Amino acid sequence: MSAERKKSLITTVHNQRKCSQVAKAAVLSSAMLARKNSSSRGPPGSAATFGARESIAAISDMLSTQHKKPVRSSYVESERVEWALKIACTISMITVCLHTPQTIEWFPPLQYIILASDFVSVSIFMLDSVLRIHYERIFRCDSSYLSNRWSQFSVFISVIHLLSFLLHVYQLIDKFFPFLHLDYRLWYGAIRSIRPFIIIRLIPLIVKFKLPKNRIEQLLKRSSQQVKNVTLFFVFFMTLYAIFGIQLFGRMDYHCVQPNTDPNNVTIMDLAIPDTMCAPNGIGGYECPAPMVCMQLNLNAKGEGFYGMFNDFGASVFTVYLAASEEGWVYVLYDCMDSLPSYLAFLYFCTLIFFLAWLVKNVFIAVITETFAEIRVQFSEMWQKKEVTLDEGFRKRLEKTEDGWRLIRLDGEVEMEGPKQKLQAMLRSMYFQCFVIIFVVLNAIGNAMFVYRHDETDVPRKHNFYIFEVAFTILFNVECIIKILCYGFRNFIRRGIFKFELILCIGSSLNCVKFFYDRNYFTYFQTFRLLRLIKASPILEDFVWKIFSPGKKLGGLVIFTIAFICCCSAISLQLFYSVPNLHHFRTFPQAFMSMFQIITQEGWTDFVVEVLRATDDNLVPFVALYFVAYHLFVTLIVLSLFVAVILDNLEMDEELKKVKQLKAREATTSMRSTLPWRLRVFEKFPTRPQMAAMKKADSDFPMPKVRGSFTHQFAVDHSLETTDLLDTEFEYPKRLMKAAAKRKISKHACERDVSELVKCRHMLSALRNCTRAPPRLASEHFETKTFVWRLLGCYLAAIRLLIGGYLAAVWRLIGCYLAAIWLLIGGYLAAVWRLIGCYLAAIWRLFGSYLAAISLLFGGYLAAIWRLFSGYLAAI
């Protein structure tokens, strides 16, 4: 029995492998066929590249999922466990922000609340880890719990939470049982600085990715490569200017001090006010006024202030980065100008600001924008709605009304009957909309005209303004009530603009209460009425809609920025709350404001220098690296994401781009982008001859000018049908009459020429009809002699017209070629003359520049020799 079972299992495994190979072959064949079709479809360069790339991605995704086991539903992946983890992550983030000595001093029972909350969160984390280890095993090779990086991070965070909880218990034991001499220190709490990373574990619980793992890894690899390249570009220039700073400036420790100053013990009373750098005699820099002397002082890094130091490579890199942020760099420039010749400082800092502050920052913005666009293209399948419901996808419906076809909204524009129908017509009318906009403008003007003088006249003025505001509030409340009665509250609350108006009405009504009005609690609601004017301008409304309507992207980015600042604030809070004489990280609001100040870059260098001065000397490099990394990430990546999102919102949709490209391709399919040289000559002619205009081409694509007499030979279809001749036989006489009126030709002569021409064309039409008709019909209608004479006359007239047309065309062509040759020769002569003049001017300028440089260099050398000689004479 066991042998048969073993045989059946071997057969099953063999069949599974065979099916897997067949599936792989089917995937490869279908993908290669799709790639062939995409490459052969359309013009070159249109969409073949995208199709090939998508087919390759499809191969990797489908082949990577062949050996994966189906997802099993288990108790560790239930919604209850997921909600418990979300609650535990939130509790942990809140408690780590509140766990500081000063916060606990304000509310002592808070430490017990924090202890109980930490116990709940740690219990949930440890229970989740134990359950997952029991379910997925820990020593299995392929699908063990610790083989996944997310699982490794979860275990690490759980252990950190457990250590933090035990440390809190240790602190309470040392507080209530001092005879044990446990000796708890505040800096032990630095272990809690790792706990804010719990927000990373919250990301996969909230954000659900619908792309395969291989596609996400490929996307991250492709996008991170560009960020890596531009980061290396930035690091290269940082290193280059740090080395330049060491070689050019070095240690600048000469200050203007009192004559009897001890260089090892300097006080503020010994320094100049303000503190001024100087240069020794003969170097070229600032010279101290009497009775001050220039003396080299022995100051440490905290005494010098860290910023503006080029003593070693680390200090030089820190100074270069702070100067590249364009905050306080001018003071470093002044110190360098005082310590050394000014032209070195000018050249160094001007190039530093150009390369690091302007070039690299804009390159970062460009790379982030391109990376975000690529991510958006890859995630377009996830963002698109695959199943569109009536409430979410379709907001308008095309219906035929008395005024024609109109788009009717489905979420509030319900047609009523009776008095409500008239009320709806009034609300939709242009007069009512203009009436509301006028009153909104009047309300805004009234708000702007209020003045506070801070004397006894403010009381009657504020009372009058209160009556004014109550009147406008009643007016807008009546408008809101009319809309609710017209549409019904359910249909009214569905519209976003109506929700906004209802909130404004509620807030403005509360502001009319005298208690709230005197304290200005709800004054902002009456100011927000001005936002209703956006609906008055369609251009402004469309622009605002393009920027702020995708709330999923812009709102998500705002939430990400706030969460990132909160996480970094909590980390800084736990790292620096125990530092003495540092009051920026005592509580979470102070830490949040400090980290937000770094994002704004307003005085952030003074803040960092103050933190470095309060920190221990052994930890200064790590603290400086922490703040530099934070500033680099938030200013060059996070803030660049806002630019990328706004540009992405203003950019046209992918489908609209494809439609526009197809239209442009259709409009230019039968056109050449450039005309031959023999036809491009006509662009140089004046516009007196009739020039052809392309009617069916888009205005986005400019076309070259072509003479109408030339295009007429190709654009007009000379048909042999009589109807075509009848349609066009009166066009030329009309033009001839107009020309006669312009050129003042005799009317009788013109009519005679027209009659002869009409007769000739009738003869030609009869000739063509006769030559097409059978011989039997010709013998019935015409006799032989009459037919021969008419035939001969028609041929003679046709030959005369043909010869005259050819002669005129040859004469015009010869004239055009002569004019073209003349223009070409003149253009070449003018170009040669201009080229010779440019070369002569360039040679003259170059020669002048060399002379000026030589004279300046020689003058500099003479001045330096003279100063040196004078210095020696003075020394002797």
- pLDDT tens for 623-661 read 999 999 999 999 888 888 888 888 777 776 555 666 666
Calpha distance 760→729 (Å, rounded)? 10
In contact, 71 and 136? CB cutoff 8 Å = no
In contact, 357 and 324? CB cutoff 8 Å = yes
In contact, 737 and 757? CB cutoff 8 Å = no
Tally of residues, the chain = 876
With CA atoms as reference, report the closest residue to 211 among 64, 76, 78, 74: 64
Give the tokens for residue 606. 């003074």
At residue 505 the predicted structure's pLDDT band, cuts being 50, 70 and 90, is very high
Domain boundary among the residues 781, 798, 815 is at: 781
At residue 585 the predicted structure's pLDDT band, cuts being 50, 70 and 90, is very high
| Per-residue pLDDT, 650 | 74
Phi-psi region of 700 (alpha: psi -120 to 50; beta: other; left: phi over 0): alpha
Task: Give, in order, the Cα–Cα distances in Å from 482 to each of 374, 443, 475, 477, 487.
Answer: 48, 20, 11, 9, 9
Residues paired with residue 406 on neighbouring β-strands, in sequence order: 399
**In-domain check, residue 854:** no
Count of domains observed in the chain: 6
Is pLDDT at 473 greater than 50 in this prediction? yes
pTM of the model: 0.63
| Per-residue pLDDT, 535 | 75
**In-domain check, residue 80:** yes
Peptide bond into 580 cis (omega under 30): no
Calpha distance 438→533 (Å, rounded)? 9
Calpha distance 567→564 (Å, rounded)? 5
Same-domain status, 349 and 202: no
At residue 495 the predicted structure's pLDDT band, cuts being 50, 70 and 90, is confident
Same-domain status, 233 and 367: yes
In contact, 650 and 546? CB cutoff 8 Å = yes
Same-domain status, 252 and 292: yes
| Per-residue pLDDT, 588 | 94
Q: Which of 521-535, 606-620, 623-637 has the lowest mean pLDDT?
A: 521-535
Same-domain status, 231 and 379: yes
Q: Which helix (H) or strand (E) holds 247?
A: helix 213-248
Contacts of 95 (CB under 8 A, 6+ apart): 114, 117, 118, 121
| Per-residue pLDDT, 139 | 66
At residue 590 the predicted structure's pLDDT band, cuts being 50, 70 and 90, is very high
Q: What are the b/e assignments for 222-234, b being 16+ CB within 10 Å?
A: ebeeeeeebbebb
In contact, 497 and 535? CB cutoff 8 Å = yes
CATH assignment at residue 612:
1.10.287.70
Q: What is the pLDDT of residues 125-183, one digit of tens each?
A: 999 888 888 887 776 666 677 777 888 888 899 999 999 999 999 999 988 888 888 88
| Per-residue pLDDT, 158 | 92
Where does 305-457 have alpha helices with state H? Answer: 313-324, 329-339, 342-352, 360-378, 380-383, 419-428, 430-449
**In-domain check, residue 513:** yes
In the block, tokens 């404004």 appear at 504
Residues paired with residue 254 on neighbouring β-strands, in sequence order: 296
In the block, tokens 């006489």 appear at 733
With CA atoms as reference, report the closest residue to 643 among 367, 437, 843: 367
At residue 122 the predicted structure's pLDDT band, cuts being 50, 70 and 90, is very high
| Per-residue pLDDT, 236 | 92
Give the tokens for residue 160. 């950190």
| Per-residue pLDDT, 2 | 44
**In-domain check, residue 125:** yes
CATH assignment at residue 468:
1.20.120.350
Contacts of 554 (CB under 8 A, 6+ apart): 547, 548, 645, 646, 649
Same-domain status, 184 and 256: no
Is pLDDT at 8 greater than 70 in this prediction? no
**In-domain check, residue 546:** no
Domain membership of residue 32 as a residue range: 15-64
Contacts of 689 (CB under 8 A, 6+ apart): 707, 708, 709
Q: Which of 2-16, 81-95, 599-613 has the lowest mean pLDDT?
A: 2-16
Domain boundary among the residues 633, 651, 669 is at: 651
Same-domain status, 140 and 178: yes
Mean of pLDDT values over 857-863: 68
Rounded to the nearest angstrom, the gap between the alpha carbon of residue 329 and the centroid of all alpha carbons in its chain is 29
DSSP 290-313: TT-EEEE----HHHHTSTT--SSH
Where does 99-143 have alpha helices with state H? Answer: 101-106, 110-136
Same-domain status, 51 and 113: no
Is pLDDT at 4 greater than 60 in this prediction? no
In contact, 427 and 483? CB cutoff 8 Å = yes
**In-domain check, residue 660:** no
| Per-residue pLDDT, 692 | 60
Same-domain status, 647 and 522: no
At residue 738 the predicted structure's pLDDT band, cuts being 50, 70 and 90, is low
**In-domain check, residue 819:** no
**In-domain check, residue 450:** yes
**Residue 212 CA neighbour count, 13 Å, CB half:** 14
Q: Which of 183-192, 498-507, 628-637, 735-744 has the lowest mean pLDDT?
A: 735-744
More confident residue, 725 or 858: 858
The amino acid present at 650, given as its one-letter code, is: L
Residues paired with residue 706 on neighbouring β-strands, in sequence order: 692
Mean of pLDDT values over 791-812: 73
| Per-residue pLDDT, 781 | 42
| Per-residue pLDDT, 39 | 40
| Per-residue pLDDT, 157 | 92
At residue 870 the predicted structure's pLDDT band, cuts being 50, 70 and 90, is low
| Per-residue pLDDT, 755 | 53
Task: Give, in order, the Cα–Cα distances in Å from 276 to each of 39, 264, 307, 755.
Answer: 71, 18, 15, 103
Same-domain status, 506 and 437: yes
Calpha distance 857→465 (Å, rounded)? 73
Calpha distance 343→356 (Å, rounded)? 20
In contact, 59 and 28? CB cutoff 8 Å = yes
Calpha distance 125→496 (Å, rounded)? 41
| Per-residue pLDDT, 44 | 39
| Per-residue pLDDT, 783 | 52
Q: Which of 211-220, 303-312, 746-755 has the lowest mean pLDDT?
A: 746-755
| Per-residue pLDDT, 523 | 85
Torsion of CA 269, 275, 279, 284, to 10 degrees: -140
| Per-residue pLDDT, 444 | 87
More confident residue, 542 or 579: 579
| Per-residue pLDDT, 447 | 85
DSSP letter, residue 69 = P
Same-domain status, 282 and 197: no
DSSP 375-389: HHHHTHHHHS-SS--
| Per-residue pLDDT, 683 | 64
Is pLDDT at 21 greater than 60 in this prediction? no
At residue 409 the predicted structure's pLDDT band, cuts being 50, 70 and 90, is low
| Per-residue pLDDT, 547 | 78
Q: Which helix (H) or strand (E) holds 325?
A: none
Same-domain status, 54 and 104: no
Is pLDDT at 696 greater than 80 in this prediction? no
Contacts of 342 (CB under 8 A, 6+ apart): 285
Q: What is the pLDDT of residues 359-406, one digit of tens each?
A: 888 888 888 778 777 776 766 655 554 444 444 444 566 666 666 666
Calpha distance 89→124 (Å, rounded)? 10
Same-domain status, 368 and 327: yes
Q: Which helix (H) or strand (E) holds 254?
A: strand 254-257
